Every structure is written in C-alpha cells, then in structure tokens.
Chains A and B, each alone.
Chain A
C-alpha cells in the first residue's frame, strides 16, 4: 500500500494505492491520525486505486471519522470503487461516511 497526500484547493487529499489490510492499515492509521492531531478541518480520502479493504482498514476510517467529528472536522471519501461501496453499505457506514463521486465533488461540497 502507498499513501500520497496532496493539497487541492486548501483541502488535503489522501490518495491510497493497493491493499488495505491488517498488515498495511497501521501505516494508514499513522498517516490519518497524524493529520487529525493537527486538527485538519477536512480530509478527502481518494480510494480509486485501492484494490482491497478489510475490517481493519474500515476501522481506521471509523476511528478517524469519530476523532474528526469531535472537533467539527470532516472526513470525506471520493472515487470509491463499487466493491468498497458495497462493503460500506453492508456495514451501514454509508449512513455516516461522506461519499462523493469525484475529488471536485468533495472539494466543492
């Protein structure tokens, strides 16, 4: 798994490539929580190149969301592959995750 963080219109975009599993999710958690500790107001996770996600990856995002909500921040997701969207729906996380079609949609929200 690779993580690339870029800034777009004042918003941090977290681009992830590869598999998010029990092996790689601690690195993702470190990156995400590092940004959250700095009280990032809005983060957008670009999932287009994610080939796999398991419950540990999802737990990382749920934890991030809870931490951001505590200070009024927003955790967004964009370009979510169909299979991952299905997992979000099955887990009822589509009710709490902000999911957008494209990065621009997330930025303009």
Chain B
C-alpha cells in the first residue's frame, strides 16, 4: 500500500472510531467525549498528512501517481502545480474532506451545549462518506510504470480565478454539513432552541464561500471561455447554485424563527435539504448520468453505487427523522399582517425556494423525463423565462423590506417613508425608458432593481452611524440590486456582430474601426495571439484574442480579448481563423538521431512519444524534433493519431517563423519518421472571423457581486459574534 492510502485508511479508521466515541458520549460522559476529541484530532492529522502528501507529490512531479500524471507536468509554475491538486475528482474529494475536518476543529470545543455529541457524530458521518469515496477512488493510485512527463493541466484551468474557484466551492460544501449536523442533533435530542443560534454563523459562512465560488466561476467563464456569457445554466453550475439558494432561504428562515418563533419545521427541513442537495449535485455532476446533456459532466469513476447509497441513506434518515418529529414541532404562526417584516421575509423565503425548485427540476429534467419515458433536457430559455418574473417579485419585496418593522405598520406611515425612494426609482426608470428599455418585463425588472437599491441605501446610511455590522443585510441587498441591473444590461442589451476580417482590410463595428494585422507568437512555444487594431477617435488599442491548440484537450481553444471600460466592455471572440494557404515540401525521412536541413531548418529527430489516446483503440505517436532556425533552437513534436478503421489525424507542430511541420508516416521498427514542412504561401489568404460584442454596464454586475460578498462577510461576522456572546438581539 502506498503511503497516501495508508493515511486515508488511518483517517477513515480515526473518523469511524471518533464518531463511535461521540455517539457513546451522548449520554453525557465527559471522559468518553474527550477521547472522541482526541480521536478527532488524529483523524484531522491524517487528513492533513494526506493533503500535504498529495501537494508534495505534485511539487516533486511524481508521475507514477496516476493523479499527478493526469493533471500536471514539469513545465507548470508553482501556482498552477498547487491548483492541479483540485483539477480532477479525486483531489477535490480530498480537498472537501480536509476542509470539512478543518472546520470541525471549530466545533469540537464548544461548551455547555446539549447538542455537542450528536452534532459531531453526524458531522463525522458526512466526512466518512467522503472517505469511502476516497478509498474507493484514491488520488494516490499508482501507474504500473513512471511516465517521464505528465499530461499537464487543462489550459482552461490555467487562470488565477480558477485556482481559487474550486476551494471556495468546497469550503461552502464542507460548511453546509454543519447546519445539517446541527439540525439532526436537534431532532434527535428533540431540543430546538440552540441549533439555530449555533448554526447561523455557519450558514452565513456557507453562503459567503459558496457565493464567492459561484461568482468567481462566472467571472472566469466570462474571461476565459469566450462565448460571451458568465452563466450557462449548465448542470455543473446549477449544482452549486441550488444549495446556495436554499442556504439563503434557510438564513432568512432562522432570522424569522429567532424573532417570531415561527418556521421551526421549515428551517430544519431547509438545513437538511441544503446538504442533501450538495450530495445530489455531486451525484449529478460526477456520476456521468448527464453525460449526454452537459458539456461539463465528469466521467463515471465507478463510485456511483456509493454516491447513491449515501445519498439515499442520508436522505431517508434525515427526512424520516424530521417527519417522525414533525407532529410535535409547531412554530408560531407567521405573517399575520401583510405590512410587516416577517410577512415579507416569509414571501422572500418562498420565492427563493421556488427558484431553487425550478432550477432543481430543470437540472434533473433528463432523469425525471427518463423515468417517465424519453430522456429530455430543458433548454436555457426555461430558466430565463421562469426567473425573470421571480427576480421582479424579489425586487419588489426587497424594495419594501427596509421600511417594514417586525410589528405591523400602517399604510400611512409606510407611504411617508417610502415616497422618496419611490420617486427616485421612478426618475431612474424614466431614464431607462428613454435609453430604450421598452419591454414591460425588462422595464419592471429595472424599476424594482432601482427601487430596491435606493431603499436599502437609505437605511444603510442611517445605520452606518451605529454599528457597521448591523448594515450587513442592507449591504447584501444593495449588491443584489446592482447584480440584477448588471445582469439585465449586460445580457438583455448586449449587442454583437460577426465580422470577416481579411488581413489589413479595415472594417467597422459599433463605430470602431478594426484592422486584422495577422498573428504573432512571442516565442515558438507560446500560443499565437491574433492582433486586431481597434480605433475610435482617440481610443486606439490592439486586441489580442487567441485561438490555440490544446494538447491536453486535443482541441482548438479560444480565448477572448476583453477591453474593459467603465460603462461597457468590448468583447472580442475569435470564431475562425483561415490560414490554410500552405505549400507542402516534399516529404523527407529521418532516422533516430539524424539531422537534415530542409527549407532553411535544421531538423533532428530525437525520439518517439507513444501513448494510447482517449478511449477505444486510438493510439497516438509523436516525434520529438530539435529544430534549428537561424540562431534559434526549439523543439517541435508533430503527431499522428491512429484511429479505428485505419483513420488517422495529423497534428502539426509550429516551426519558428510561422511555418508548420507535419508527421506523415511512422516506421517504428526502423526507428524512422517521414515528415513534411508546410510553408505559408502568402499572407493574403488570412481571414479572421471575429465576434465583437458590447456588454453595457457589466461592471455594475461585478460591483454587485463584490458588494454581496462584503455584505455576507459582515453577516457572518455579526452572527458568529452573537453566537459567542449568547446575545439574542431583536
């Protein structure tokens, strides 16, 4: 057994043992509890060792470890070697486990709380679930022999934002096990006063980290993927959005419960379901079940039966327990008066939950319809059509809520306070109307977004004089308003045009003059940048979108160029680059170690690299060449992929000076290759097809996200202080 697997087994044993001790200590035996704590520390220690070991294997390029081979290579900078850790499934499970056990350290030393033993027992069962998956599909698995080089990191993931996105999401997932465990502990003990107080900061924390992860992911998609959007309603994205929404609903539910003693059952349900939805999302995206419906879905790792087993076990146990207790559980009635804070919050919870349900149904559509008959997917308009009215309703609620007290308020007092923001919102809406917003749904969307921002701003400033922490809610809601505005302007009012840009021929788009100047590589190894000069009055810059071949993905990749301006973004996405005007040299052969001079290149054949490629019968051979040109020296590795039925695909390599080299034939037994050089005939054939879009006010969207994060951060801070000081402020 390798060391890493040993750590995982020890961690597993520790977790089971510790969970068992915590279960025994539920009768109130303090010494057993402290033994459980010791076992927990050991468990954490082994997860730490396993995590450090995997980092170490990445940093030392231990390619015999299959996971390290699959996601990294020697040319990766330190930063991306670290993030290779969570480039694949096994690593993310380990990251999730480690974060979970780390967060648990903050739980085990709480004193004087009757839920403690059960809390830790249930919390550990969630970690045991991850450990089972890790033991089944270990990141420490070895290959039969050690490859010289790893497959490298997916170039899409070579981005600073992608370094932080997965950890943020998994911190959120890990933290959601805490309210889950608290709710179960409360249900088992049949005591419901403490769980809401103690789990509230964790709920804020989950909302913060999951939200940050979702936002970072969206920003990354916009910046890197080049389709011009930031949210595609893909199952992988939805899988994290759904539990985020239920967490937010839960947060508001608990605020209501603390103030009004209501929603007891709903809150327990939301706490349980948020975690169960994390499991379900994991199942959807990792089982391969949606493989035909998503660009992203992970391949099946053979852990499906475990995922399904745990999902059903957790669901049956937790919801069963809730059902068993529910007859006795009764909260106070809520929402007695329409013009009161609690009624509006209640509606908010309902609509946020509704949104979660709609997305859940949409994401599960292939499974639901598959059971009923033919597996079908729902397309993106489903999400947009249903969420436009939902967002309008939420905007309406958020506009009023700052002015509503917990007690009932009369229409007269309310109308006095609300008059000013209403008038300002109307003025802004008129401006929007003049600027061309004519569709009723868009207009309403804008109107309530303005209204909610202004309403919350007013109270935010009033409260700012007191304690900063008490402004958290208003701040978050202001952020929501900004985000709404930014979403609508940048998507609903985005303009885009596709242009054919022959080299050196000026074309117009949105008042800008565009000239395609050709491509440029900074070095032979570097990807090509396509240079487009963009001019409008004094505004003059060169856009550098990219189209490049990714060895890792075996695909042409695209990277947009974004010109950020205060009021709008100019988004340049390359669609097609036609440069196939080549003259091929006579094929020539080279045996291993031999050097020939062809078309001004000194080419020496060094070695073969062979490996089975992808699934079923494909095989790939590459020739490693040393190329001398003028004073430069470089390596080039053209390749052939042998497919089934004698089909082959040639993969060319770049030569210095922009020419290409192709591998024509491989004679492995004679250690010989046949190559040909393709020289560019003339530059006139070059054509770039470019999509130019304008994204108005997209900065408001990013601003909104940042403000939401700031608000959630303050919320988490405030609630954790309250939980510590045992205060119960209204």
Same complex for A and B? Answer no
Q: Which residues of B contact A (CB under 8 A)?
A: none
Q: Which residues of A contact B (CB under 8 A)?
A: none
